[in-house]
Amino acid sequence: MSRQGREFQVYEDGRRCVVGVIPVLPNHPAALDPSTAGSSGSGSGSDAGAASAAAATSTPPRIVLVSSRKDHDRWVLPKGGWDLGAADGTETRTESAAREAWEEAGLRGSLADAPVWEFDEPMTSTTGIRTPEKTRTPCRYTFFAMAVDERLATWPEAGERARQAFSVDEALDRLARHHNPVMRDALQAWVAAHPALMTPSSSSDSA
């Protein structure tokens, strides 16, 4: 069972810190490092870029999304609050993002050291941001790329969420369709950083 509540949530500059992952299939290093996704020139960097591009040609990337717990027709990237309450109380952003990928989607893999995208919601008022459901605190979003190497058959929220792999274009469409501009922009940032991996779309499948 995943942890609930916000007792140990991290806040910065008045914003709730939210971390998430962009889970990429198949697993290869170029999914994490833009410097190897389109390298040119001589030496090992060029070889790495060529190998990554060749791998992408035969295996176009797919993005793993999960359904919302409240609306199973709404697809999202795994994310959640940065929570220092895990382990010994010193969970890093990266560790928190990896935990969210496991809790929400049953995914294990390697995460990039640096975030692929960050965004601060504006501080529109002292009362926070109004949504159709409630008034909430503005968030500071940080998303990391994840090269997925394990998809577990069971995970904490397996009974509450579906999990599916989509082509990049399909994933962008699902996120835009269900009004997730923050997640859509995070995925678009990853796409922009990895042009060598972009190949004709593959079909979606269950993950």
pLDDT at residue 85 in the model: 67
Each residue of 154-187: pLDDT tens digit?
999 999 999 999 999 999 999 998 777 899 999 9
Backbone φ and ψ for 26, nearest 5 degrees, come out as -75, 170
Residue ranges in the chain whose pLDDT is less than 50: 1-2, 35-57, 126-133, 202-203
pLDDT at residue 128 in the model: 46
Whole-angstrom distance, CA of residue 12 vs CA of residue 119: 13
pLDDT at residue 72 in the model: 83
pLDDT at residue 144 in the model: 96
Helix (H, G, I), strand (E, B) or coil at 87: coil
pLDDT at residue 6 in the model: 58
pLDDT at residue 68 in the model: 92
Domain 28-199 grouped into CATH 3.90.79.10: yes
pLDDT at residue 169 in the model: 93
pLDDT at residue 177 in the model: 86
pLDDT at residue 83 in the model: 84
Whole-angstrom CA distances from 58 to 129, 138, 146 are: 44, 41, 20
Q: What is the DSSP letter of 31?
A: G
116 in Cβ contact with 143 (< 8 Å)? yes
